[in-house]
Amino acid sequence: MEKQSPPGRRKESRRKFLGDVVKGLSAAAVGAHLDRSTFAQNPQPGRPSIRFVIHGGAGTIVRGQMSREMEESYRTELTRALSTGYNILKNNGSSLDAVEAAIRIMEDSPLFNAGKGAVFTSAGTNELDASIMDGSNLKAGAVAVVKHIKNPISLARLVMERSPHVLMVGDGAEAFARQQGVKLVPQEYFYTERRWKELQQIKEEEKKQKSPQKKSEHGSQGQPLTEGKHGTVGAVALDKSGNLAAGTSTGGLTNKKFGRVGDSPIIGAGTYANNRTCAVSATGDGEYFIRAVVAHDISALVEYKGMPLNEAAQAVIDKVGKLGGTGGVIALGRDGSITTPFNTEGMYRGYVDTNERMVIEIYKD
C-alpha cells in the first residue's frame, strides 16, 4: 500500500496541494498552440523526462460551430487539468497521482462527460465508469455503473490499492466506496441543464422516427453509434522515476439502456499502461474500442512488432475506423514520445511540449 493516511485526510491535503500548483502556474504558457498531433523526444540518458497528456473526449467538434466563449471555457479547464498533473510530476509526484488529479478536475467540471458533467441514461439517471492502471507493476482498478460517486477515478484507484480486485460494478462498488470512507453524493449532484436537454432532444428524435424502439433494439455492431452523444476524459503520464500510468473516466452514452458499459472501465480497451511500452487512454464509440482491444493492441504493436508509438496508435485507430467506429486515443511512450490520433472532427486534448509550453488543441486542423 503506497498511501497510509485515511481517505478523508488524503483528499483534503491533495485538494490544497492542487490549489497551490494551479496558482503557481505560468499564465503566459496557457493557450499556446502547436499544430501537430505527434512529437517525440528521447529523454537524457539515465534521467527520464516527465511527460503529461490529457484528453476531454472526441466527437463532432467542428470549428465554427462552437461559440468563442464555450471554446475558451474548454481551453481554461483543459489547461487547469494539464497544469495540475504536470506540476505534480515536476514536484517529484508519481504518474498515478498526476493522472488521478487531472482526471478529478475534469470530473468536477460540468463541461466534460465524466463526473459532474455526465450524460443521462434513458431512465434519466447518471451511470459512471472509470479505470486506472500502473505501468510499473500492471496493477489496475476500475469501476462501472456507479451512480453516487463524485470522482470515479479515485474509486478506481482505491479498488486497485485497497482490494484484491480489478473491477467492481454497481451497488457493490458503492458499498466498497462507503467502506473506504468515500462520501457518496445524491444523483442530483450530476444534474446539469445542458445534459438534461441533450437527453430530451434525443428522446424527441426517437419519437419522430417511425419505429424508434425497434431501430434501437435491433441495431447491430455494424452500425456506428450516433456521434456527439458520448465523451470521456483521460490522462497518461510519465514520472521522474520512469513510471507510466493511464486513467480514463466517463459518463457513458446519452440515452443508454440495459446497463450498457463501454470501453472506459475495461483494462486493455479504454485504458492500459505498461512500463515496457506505453500508456494509453481512449475515447470514442466504446463498443468498437472493446472489440479492437485498442489500448493493449497499441502496446502490443510497439512491444512485439517494434513499431514506433505514433504508427502503432494510428494503425489501431485505423482498425477501429474499418470496423465502423470513431474516436481517438492519447498515447505516451516509455521514451517520452506523445501521439494523439483520432478519426473524428475533433478531440479535446492537451500536452506539455519539450519547452514546457502547454499545448491545448481541439480541432483536427
Which residues lie across from 128 on neighbouring strands? 146
Please name which of 126, 331, 357, 346 lies closest in space to residue 244, comparing C-alpha atoms: 331
Considering beta carbons, is residue 171 or 356 the nearer one to its own copies?
171
111 touches 74 (CB < 8 A): yes
> Residue from 114, 233, 300, 332 that binds its own copies (CB under 8 A)?
300
Q: How far is the CB of 352 from its own copies (least distance, A)?
A: 29
- Rounded Cα distance between 336 and 232, Å, is 23
Please name which of 272, 274, 351, 339 lies closest in space to residue 312, comparing C-alpha atoms: 339
- The three cell numbers of residue 130 are 472509470
Selecting among 79, 121, 232, 277, the annotated active-site residue is: 232
Mapped onto helix, strand or coil, the DSSP state of residue 25 is coil
The amino acid present at 39, given as its one-letter code, is: F
Mapped onto helix, strand or coil, the DSSP state of residue 340 is coil
Does 170 bind its own copies (CB under 8 A)? Our answer is yes
- Per-residue contact track with its own copies, 228 to 257, x per CB under 8 A? -----------------------------x
- Rounded Cα distance between 360 and 29, Å, is 10
- The DSSP code sequence of 205-228 is HHHHSSSHHHHHHT--TTSPPPTT
Does 304 bind its own copies (CB under 8 A)? Our answer is yes
Does 269 bind its own copies (CB under 8 A)? Our answer is yes
Mapped onto helix, strand or coil, the DSSP state of residue 284 is strand
Does 218 bind its own copies (CB under 8 A)? Our answer is yes
Q: What's the length of the chain? A: 365
> What kind and span of H or E run contains 59?
strand 51-59
296 touches 303 (CB < 8 A): no
Does 5 bind its own copies (CB under 8 A)? Our answer is no
Identify each DSSP E strand in 147-207 by its residue range.
167-169
Q: How far is the CB of 141 from its own copies (least distance, A)?
A: 9
Considering beta carbons, is residue 11 or 291 the nearer one to its own copies?
291
Does 338 bind its own copies (CB under 8 A)? Our answer is no
Does 261 bind its own copies (CB under 8 A)? Our answer is yes
Does 120 bind its own copies (CB under 8 A)? Our answer is no
Does 183 bind its own copies (CB under 8 A)? Our answer is no
- How many residues bind its own copies (CB under 8 A)? The answer is 56
Is 232 tagged catalytic? Answer: yes
What residues numbered 306-335 form the site for its own copies, per CB under 8 A? 323
Does 184 bind its own copies (CB under 8 A)? Our answer is no
Stretch that binds its own copies, among 4-12, 243-251, 295-303, 342-350 (CB under 8 A): 295-303
Please list the active-site residues.
232
**Binding positions for its own copies, rule: CB under 8 A:** 1, 133, 138-140, 144-145, 160-173, 175-176, 179, 216-221, 223, 225, 257-262, 266-269, 272, 286-287, 290-293, 296-297, 300-301, 304-305, 323
